[in-house]
Amino acid sequence: MDRVTVLCCSNMSGTDKRKLLVIGKIAKPRCFKGLKMDSLPVVYRANRNAWMTSELFKEWLKDWGGELQQKWRKVLLLLDNCAAHPRLDCLKNIQLEFLPPRTTARNAFFTRWL
């Protein structure tokens, strides 16, 4: 069975959206043959299970944090308590706030817009 994981991130109004992070199982899928990975409209990463890992999430956060620092911006990021969402104190421009356990379904901001 094919699987992908997609990370979506936006402000509440939807006017400021991050590029989707798509995680697949294959590092260089045939459908990307001849394409420059930097030219894709998404950020693509791969691992054996196509799951979000704490390492992929840290990479994504650090990349975004660098962009925010260049623009002199700060953000508050709301997260569920998934094991792939590590608690990082080294981020200067991103404050992580974790939702209480078992509240994700009630507070699923993105599912309202998908």
Model confidence, pTM: 0.82
Rg value, the chain, Cα: 15
**CB 69, CB 92: distance < 8 Å:** yes
- Of 82, 83, 77, 80, which is closest to residue 103 (Cα–Cα)? 80
pLDDT 10s digits, 17-36: 999 999 999 988 888 888 88
pLDDT 10s digits, 79-100: 888 878 887 777 899 999 888 8
